């Protein structure tokens, strides 16, 4: 049984100040940064022979699509990246919650997490290839191990900040531990989780490319290296452009949206 309420339409107040001119908006600033980057690229390409220009990169990109190379490698990499990230997120949230809730687990996990934070992805990439050889296990493990500590640290910080008043309230009412974690702790740390996952995405993406570069026979990292080894910088740059675009879209569109949805309760006030 739910009650109908009319509160979702947000009516624009009439006395609103005039919108800023088009050249002073966020969108204009963002677009001009893209344009500036493109110009810089063109200039660099003209100045240095070994820097492929946008035109060459676009041609290469189209060729790669025509060769049917893009989706296969991208799909492979996405699977590894996604799986590794999932492990990092789930494991990082679990460890972070534990660290935030109990001083004993904080003492236990503090040093391993610190060590994890300080080991760069490239070390994991080498180690995992030594352990697992070529294949999907090395990149997935590299992503998971590189990204997990960042999620854990962020989540632990968030859990430590959960309001004492609300914890007391939950205790007085005898709310079960599982429910407290689900409805009090996790929503309170959503912001920290999203920040942690954002970090993890960047770091994990780095990790998967490195790992594929050194230890795989397919995937985006492998294909980039293929062009690099062939001394064809156009092809190499085409892949760089592809995954930069991918990361920007992932962060801007998906994570940004997730964060807005998670904070609906704050925005609707």
Partner 1 sequence: MARLTVDDLCKTFPGSGGRPPNRVLDNVSFDMQGQVFVSLVGPSGCGKSTLLNIVSGVETYTSGQLDLTNDEGRPARLGYVFQDPRLLPWRTVVQNMLYVQDDNSSQTRDRALRYLDMVGLANNTDYFPTQLSGGMQQRVGIARAFSVEPDLLLMDEPFSHLDAITARGLRENLQEIWIESRKTVLFVTHDVMEAVQLSDRIIMLQPGGRIFDDITIDLPRPRHQSDPKVATMQAEVLGRLESMTGVNDDVSQAAPTGGAP
Binding site for partner 1 (CB under 8 A): 1-3, 5, 7, 165-166, 168-175, 179, 183-184, 187-188, 190, 265-266, 268-269
φ/ψ bin of 25: left (φ > 0), alpha (ψ from -120 to 50), beta (otherwise)? beta
- Identify the three-state secondary structure at position 219: coil
- What's the min distance (Å) between Cβ of 172 and partner 1? 4
Q: Closer to partner 1 at the Cβ: 69 or 190?
A: 190
Are 119 and 57 a contacting pair, CB within 8 Å?
no
* CB closer to partner 1, 58 vs 181: 181
Rounded Cα distance, 85 and 250, in Å: 13
- Residue 161 phi/psi, 5° resolution? -90, 5
List the alpha helices (DSSP H) in the chain.
Answer: 26-47, 54-66, 70-101, 103-118, 121-132, 137-160, 164-172, 177-180, 186-188, 190-215, 220-229, 233-249, 256-262, 264-267
Q: Which is nearer to partner 1, 257 or 261 (CB)?
A: 261
Pick the closer one to partner 1 by CB: 60 or 180. Answer: 180
Least separation, in Å, of the C-beta of 107 and partner 1? 23
Q: Taking the complex as a whole, how short is the minimal distance between the CB of residue 184 and partner 1, in angstroms? A: 6
To the nearest 10°, the Cα dihedral for 113, 119, 120, 124? -100
CA-to-CA separations, 106 to 44, 63, 110, 159, 161, in angstroms, rounded: 50, 52, 6, 12, 14
Q: Which is nearer to partner 1, 23 or 173 (CB)?
A: 173
Nearer to partner 1, 154 or 170 (CB): 170
């Amino acid at each position: 049984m739910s009650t109908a309420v009319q509160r979702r339409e947000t009516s624009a107040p009439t006395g609103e100040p005039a919108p800023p001119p088009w050249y002073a908006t966020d969108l204009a600033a963002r677009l001009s940064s893209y344009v500036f980057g493109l110009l810089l690229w063109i200039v660099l390409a003209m100045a240095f022979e070994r820097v492929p220009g946008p035109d060459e990169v676009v041609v290469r990109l189209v060729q790669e699509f025509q060769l049917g190379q893009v989706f296969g490698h991208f799909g492979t990499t996405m699977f590894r990246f996604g799986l590794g990230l999932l492990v990092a997120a789930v494991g990082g949230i679990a460890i972070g919650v534990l660290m935030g809730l109990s001083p004993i687990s904080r003492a236990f996990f503090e040093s391993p997490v610190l060590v994890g934070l300080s080991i760069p992805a490239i070390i994991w990439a080498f180690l995992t290839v030594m352990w697992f050889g070529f294949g999907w296990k090395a990149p997935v493990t590299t992503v998971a191990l590189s990204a997990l500590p960042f999620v854990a640290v962020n989540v632990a910080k968030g859990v430590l900040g959960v309001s004492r008043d609300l914890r007391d309230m939950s205790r007085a009412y005898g709310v079960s531990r599982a429910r407290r974690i689900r409805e009090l702790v996790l929503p309170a740390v959503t912001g920290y989780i999203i920040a942690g996952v954002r970090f993890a995405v960047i770091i994990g993406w780095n990790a998967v490319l490195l790992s594929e570069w050194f230890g795989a026979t397919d995937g985006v990292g492998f294909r980039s290296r293929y062009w690099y080894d062939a001394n064809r910088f156009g092809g190499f740059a085409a892949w760089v452009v592809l995954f930069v675009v991918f990361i920007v879209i992932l962060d801007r569109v998906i994570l940004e949206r997730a964060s807005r949805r998670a904070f609906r309760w704050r925005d609707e006030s």
